Structure 1
Amino acid sequence: MQTASTNICERMGRSKELSEFKLGTVIGCHLCNKSIREISFPLNIPRSTVSGIITKWKQLGTTATQPQSERG
């Protein structure tokens, strides 16, 4: 049984990372010249997330999560 707070967390930002399969699917669709809207709707991923994945892939050449810098 899910509580109300769990259900809210699922709907609101930064709840979990996308799987490697979904990341690869986004890039594959992008390489097949699909628009961001055509990619986001069937995968149920926000357009801003799809855009961010594509931008990160173009800049870094990877979709892997980068380590965060530690606080000093």
Structure 2
Amino acid sequence: MQTASTNICKRLCKFIHEISLLLNIPQSTVSGIITKWKQLGTTATQPQSGRPCKMTDRGSAHAEVHSAQKSPTVC
């Protein structure tokens, strides 16, 4: 037996699938845009909450590996 929330979910999934086919974009993108619209009432980019970091975690990890490979005796 299906509940009302299951029926709504199935209809929403079908709706997202149809939009993604029409616009030729991934379903995850359509789903994200719909979620953003429900939460914020807009799809515009929101300002960041703080100053961006100069170096990301991935960048610092790459720098550490690169320096270790360049001069392994220093480490």
Shorter-chain-normalised TM-score: which range? 0.3 to 0.5
TM-score, normalisation: structure 2: 0.46
**Structure with greater proportional helix content:** 2
TM-score, normalisation: structure 1: 0.48
Structure with larger Rg? 2
